[in-house]
Structure 1
């Protein structure tokens, strides 16, 4: 392999009209870079010929400056390898000036009105899940993903024309992927749509921001499930919307509660196929009532179908979009759960009446998702690999769900685990004797990740519990995790 050419030192400026010799200017500039930490110990310096060409001086001048720095111990020459920043430089690096000694007063930039008002309402969260362990939520079974097939498809596409893989993505999305998604939605979710209604985004979160920015004015009320999805809520808060906490029961969003709090809402956000986080499936009567309420209020509905592919019950319910007859539902999907989160790939399916507006916005200021990523996913779907993967994951998640339910029997009376028929997380309701935050903290000490139910709440909720993910956990890890919960419960009792 060809050795890399070293650091690019384009910050060095030589004044050939100055009285100071060019070699001295170069020496002092290099010395300053070394002593201020711009170049770190072990970094390879560019070859003398390369550096001379880049800054417009003779090679002899560069050699003189370099030799002087070597003699001072700031650089070291390695035979046959080149010149490197000395490891001994660690002891000589100039300390950063203290705030008291600095003459520069840092400026705190003024935030926008929307951001200043949104920050207090944001629900803080740590890094999104990235490590498979019990009981991480929102992370699919990465251990079961067909990586070998994916690698072959990826290699094939990375060898294609560079204009195809390296340029800006298409603003609306790669058409073969839009077609594949339209076919998939029709076959598996009962949604009939044209590919032109589908817009590819950098994940579902970007879709929520896009929808909110286009449809909701600052201060306008939006119905939001309470408890509900944190990321989506933050996206709408960021654009200045006013989330209205609407209660959720076993049938899903309580329409009467929403109408009592904000009858003239601008938008409603729901997760009807698998309520986030309670896991309920919205009943058909509630779906019809929501559509009626939206129609009467001239409002829109965002249906977040984040893990709807993984329904392992008897019969999957219809999507809200599939029974929408007035063009009120905007359907958002993601590949973070069906494939893997690092793709950062989602999509939004808009009613026909919004297609032109979305095209104008996307064409005006969105750069598009990388084409090569979309092309790989499109072929993965067109070749039938996606459907096969979904079937495999449904069975896997059902087995892991059943294991979780079986192991939870020993905690009956303390943690009442709610069965689910979709996705890969479940909620364990707690008796009033336990503090959910204390359980989460104690579990973390044993390497177990859980989330308190209150973390998802926009307002007061009657339930107290913890959210347990089972999708990314092997069955042995689920069993060990439940043993840990049983062990720590006595120290988490409040009475």
Structure 2
């Protein structure tokens, strides 16, 4: 800062004559900002009141008023016969050196999670969330009935303001809870009552809230290995001890889980379409899991994230339909059936848990926006949701066929692409002698494709070498182009 006998030059200090606020107030705010930002360093002498008044074109009284206010705040020191200075004891952000700053992870008052998310946590998205060949978990934006959605939204917003603009019920809008029950009964064979259905800001929010309410630090939680990353992170964030349970062609290996942790508190599973391997849990394995939960006094969290999208003739109903012991918490999401930005999920609780869940959510949760719930409820009750699901099944089946046909033609000998009758993606195993899966994923990303290595989903190392190939997000022509591009990438990486 340049100095002269009249005090510091302050070229950035400006008074806005177009501003209707008091000039003394403006000058006070401007000087305060310069001091707190460090632009006027501690110990700096300010110009004399007459000098500053002349420089700014204001009265001396205005300057004196500003100086007095800042002195009262402890930012300025006035010394008789010596002038006005920025307080010597003041510490501003700019004056804290790198050496003096304490690393965040060393701060004593941060929780384990806040101090730094580390392994075995993993980012939930390994690619930019935009539609492109082989992106996973993304519905077809191009096929969504936007005009219909807009019409229903417009109708909703013309209703009574008191009902649509008030604070939402933390448990969820009754109309939506009832509509979900009706849909699950008709389309998934799952019978439930509205008071047992709770609405969340997406399935991930449901997992996090359930973990907070059901898991104590150190509780052992079975997690499919490989398995869903978001659910894993939710339980880890609450201090759970993760138990990596292998997955075979029948789903989670219950015997392996019991061998590792017979005293488990929660088992997280994806029975309809195991994430990411794509196997469907067999009936025998489902009964084993229910029996294990009964004996351990544990709960099962069933994530039915794409159960609506089955392209074969028959499918097993949700695990919860077999739940005689009332151990299963069924979680669904509208992010896949509608679109991710809707941020809406739900959980069907065992009746014995429902009162506790309702009390806890009422105490700590904010609820989901009324408008989103109300629009989705109307979308369901007017029959649009069921029609949308039926239409999308046909679209996704065609995109799956495009992937499988193109893979048989262009990826033979490079990748073994698995047949699938459910979901938004399939898996492709890398042939012997083929590229390392992470190297393949990176090279594919450079080519504009989205590949996710199977090991990314693993809590503990797995023997499988492969990648997940999504087919839901883009039309068949883009899938076919993507397959050709992927074949070229593999050939470039070949020894």
Does the 8 A contact of 1:197 with 1:352 survive in 2?
A: yes
| Deviation readout 1:417-445 (Å, 9 max, x if unpaired) | 01111111111111232211111111111
User: Residues 125, 183 of structure 1: CA spacing in aligned structure 2 closer, same or farther, 3 A cutoff?
Assistant: closer
| TM-score, length basis structure 1 | 0.80
Aligned-pair distance for 1:262?
Answer: 1.0
- The equivalent residue for 2:131 is 132
Does the 8 A contact of 1:268 with 1:301 survive in 2?
A: yes
Does the 8 A contact of 2:196 with 2:350 survive in 1?
A: yes
- The equivalent residue for 1:312 is 311
Name the CA distance, whole Å, in 1 between partners of 2:473 and 2:103: 45
Aligned-pair distance for 1:315?
Answer: 0.3
- The equivalent residue for 1:467 is 468
Does the 8 A contact of 1:165 with 1:370 survive in 2?
A: no
- The equivalent residue for 2:443 is 442
User: Residues 30, 372 of structure 1: CA spacing in aligned structure 2 closer, same or farther, 3 A cutoff?
Assistant: same
What are the within-5 Å matches in structure 2 for residues 31-110 of structure 1? 97=94, 100=97, 109-110=107-108
Aligned-pair distance for 1:287?
Answer: 0.6
| Deviation readout 1:444-469 (Å, 9 max, x if unpaired) | 11111111111000112121111111
Does the 8 A contact of 1:332 with 1:349 survive in 2?
A: yes
Does the 8 A contact of 1:129 with 1:137 survive in 2?
A: no
Does the 8 A contact of 1:118 with 1:240 survive in 2?
A: no
Name the CA distance, whole Å, in 2 between partners of 1:103 and 1:117: 20
| TM-score, length basis structure 2 | 0.80
Aligned-pair distance for 1:98?
Answer: 7.7
What are the within-5 Å matches in structure 2 for residues 212-291 of structure 1? 212-291=211-290
Does the 8 A contact of 1:311 with 1:394 survive in 2?
A: yes
User: Residues 259, 193 of structure 1: CA spacing in aligned structure 2 closer, same or farther, 3 A cutoff?
Assistant: same
Task: Say which SS state the counterpart of residue 336 (structure 2) adopts.
Answer: coil
- The equivalent residue for 2:491 is 490
| Deviation readout 1:248-271 (Å, 9 max, x if unpaired) | 111111111111111121110000
Aligned-pair distance for 1:222?
Answer: 1.1
Q: Does 1:480 align with 2:473?
A: no
Name the CA distance, whole Å, in 2 between partners of 1:144 and 1:435: 35
Does the 8 A contact of 1:267 with 1:302 survive in 2?
A: yes
User: Residues 229, 28 of structure 1: CA spacing in aligned structure 2 closer, same or farther, 3 A cutoff?
Assistant: same
Unmatched 5+ stretches in structure 2: 1-21, 38-55, 60-92
Name the CA distance, whole Å, in 2 between partners of 1:24 and 1:173: 51
Q: Does 1:353 align with 2:355?
A: no
Which deviates more, 220-229 or 113-122?
113-122
User: Residues 31, 338 of structure 1: CA spacing in aligned structure 2 closer, same or farther, 3 A cutoff?
Assistant: same
Q: Does 1:299 align with 2:298?
A: yes
- The equivalent residue for 1:413 is 413
User: Residues 35, 134 of structure 1: CA spacing in aligned structure 2 closer, same or farther, 3 A cutoff?
Assistant: farther
Task: Say which SS state the counterpart of residue 315 (structure 1) adopts.
Answer: coil
- The equivalent residue for 2:390 is 391
User: Residues 404, 34 of structure 1: CA spacing in aligned structure 2 closer, same or farther, 3 A cutoff?
Assistant: farther
Name the CA distance, whole Å, in 1 between partners of 2:107 and 2:98: 22
Name the CA distance, whole Å, in 2 between partners of 1:336 and 1:321: 21
Does the 8 A contact of 1:221 with 1:266 survive in 2?
A: yes
User: Residues 104, 398 of structure 1: CA spacing in aligned structure 2 closer, same or farther, 3 A cutoff?
Assistant: closer
Between structure 1 and structure 2, the one with the greater Rg is 2
Aligned-pair distance for 1:335?
Answer: 0.3
User: Residues 126, 190 of structure 1: CA spacing in aligned structure 2 closer, same or farther, 3 A cutoff?
Assistant: closer
| Deviation readout 1:38-78 (Å, 9 max, x if unpaired) | xxxxxxxxxxxxxxxxxxxxxxxx9979xxxxxxxxxxxxx
